[in-house]
Structure 1
Amino acid sequence: MRIFTESQHFKQWFFHLLVLGSLAIMIYAFYAINYTDETISTTEKYIVNSILIVSAIPLLLIYRTKLSTRIDEKGVHYRMFPFHFKMKLIQWNELEVCEIRTYNPLSEYSGWGYRMSFSNSGKALNIAGKKGIQLKYKNGKKLLIGTQLADEAQRTINYYFKKTTS
C-alpha cells in the first residue's frame, strides 16, 4: 500500500520576523502601560491589555499554522490547522482531475495561507513554494493543496487515481 504524507509550516524568515516583531511590540506595550506609565487609570489599562491579548491570539494561531496532507487508497486527506481541526477527505470518485501543477501564488491566489481566488482558480491551501496538488471535483469546484514533495505526491496520485478513474 502506498501512502504519501506531508506536513508543512511557515518557514520564511520574513514571516517569523513579522509575527515575532509584532508580538515583541505588544509585549513592550503591555510592560510600558502596566509598569511605567502611572497616569493611566486601571480601566484604561484593562481596555488596552484586553486589546493586546485579543490581538496576540490570531498572531499566535497564524504562527502555529500547519498544512497536513495524506494521499492513500481512500483519496486525498488534508488539514490546515487552525482552520480545520480534523482531516478532511476527498474521495477519488469525487474527483475529475488530480494532478501536480506549478502555479503562481501571488497572481493566482494573492499569496500563501488559506486563500480564495477571485478568478476561476478556486481555493488554495499553501504554505510555501509554487507546486501544488490540483484537485477538480466533478461538480466543477477546485482546490489546490501546496506541496514541497511534488514528485513523491505525483507517484502516489498516479498509483491510486488512475486505478479509480479507469
Structure 2
Amino acid sequence: MGGQENVIYREVQRPRQIWIWILILLIAALFWYCFIKQIIFKIPVGNNPAPNFVMVILWMMFGIVFPLCLLYFMKLIIEVRTDGLYIRYVPFQIHYKKFMVSDMASFTSITYRPIAQFGGLGIRLNMNGETAYIMNGNRGVKLQLTNKRVIVVGTEQPHELVNALNSIRS
C-alpha cells in the first residue's frame, strides 16, 4: 500500500478481554453442538428444525468463520504517517480511515469510560456525536477536527501517539 514507508508510529491492538473470547467460543460451541446433533446424529434440533443445508451454512458461518475472523483476524491498527492519522479496524474496515494533519484542530491524551461513554468496544458513535475506535482499555487520544467532529482513538500508548501527531504537525 502506498505511503506505508512514511509510517512514524504504528500500534496494533488485539482483543485481550477474556469475556470476549468466552462469548465467541460459546457461540461457536452452540453451533457445533447443533451441527453434530442434527447432521451427524440425525436428531433434529428444536420443534421446528432448520433444513440440513441451512444448518451446515449456519455452522460454517458461526462455528468456523465467525470465531476465526474475530479471534484470529480482529485487530485495531493505528498509524501516524507524514500526512496524518490512519486507523483500520480489521476485519470490519477494508481501507484505512484517514484523518489528515491539516484537518486536525487539536488532539490530547485522555482517559475515558468505553461502556459508559460509547456503549462498548469497536467502532462507536455516542450521543454527543463523537466517534470512537476502541479495542482495549480506557486510555486514548481525542482528536478535535476542524469540521467540529470529535474522534477518540483507544490506544495503549497515548503519549507516544500524541508525540507522533505533534511531530507531523510541525
Q: Number of paired residues?
A: 160
For 1:54 and 1:23, the matched residues in 2 are separated by 9
* TM-score calculated relative to the size of structure 2: 0.82
Match of 2:3 in 1: none
Return the alpha-carbon distance in structure 1 between the equivalents of residues 159 and 36 of structure 2. Answer: 49
Q: CA deviation at 1:38?
A: 5.2
Alignment of 1:6 onto 2:11: yes
Gaps (5+ residues) in structure 2? 1-5
Question: Who is 2:109 aligned against?
Answer: 100
Deviation string for 1:72-112 (max 9, x for gaps)? 32111111112211223211111112222111101110111
1:121 CA displacement: 4.7
Aligned counterparts of 1:79 and 1:144: Cα–Cα separation in 2: 13
Q: Which runs of 5+ in 1 are unaligned?
A: none
Deviation at 1:22, TM superposition (A): 1.4
1:28 equivalent to 2:33? Answer: yes
Q: What's the Cα RMSD here? A: 2.3
- 2 CA distance for matches of 1:131 and 1:47? 43
The alignment partner of 2:51 has SS state of helix
Of stretches 69-78 and 48-57 in structure 1, the one that deviates more from structure 2 is 48-57
Contact 1:99/1:157 (<8 A) preserved = no
Tell me how far 1:46 sits from its aligned partner: 1.6
Match of 2:78 in 1: 69
Mapped pair 1:149 → 2:157: yes
Is the CA contact (8 Å cut-off) linking 2:15 and 2:74 kept in structure 1? yes
Q: Specify whether residues 39 and 53 from structure 1 end up closer, same or farther in structure 2 by C-alpha distance, changes over 3 A only.
A: closer
Aligned match for 1:53, one of 60, 63, 67 = 60
* Aligned counterpart for 2:134 among listed residues 126, 130, 137: 126
Residues 29, 49 of structure 1: CA spacing in aligned structure 2 closer, same or farther, 3 A cutoff?
same
Deviation of the 1:39 alpha carbon: 6.2
Q: Report Cα offsets for 1:101-137 as digits up to 9, x if no partner.
A: 111101110111111112x151111101111121121
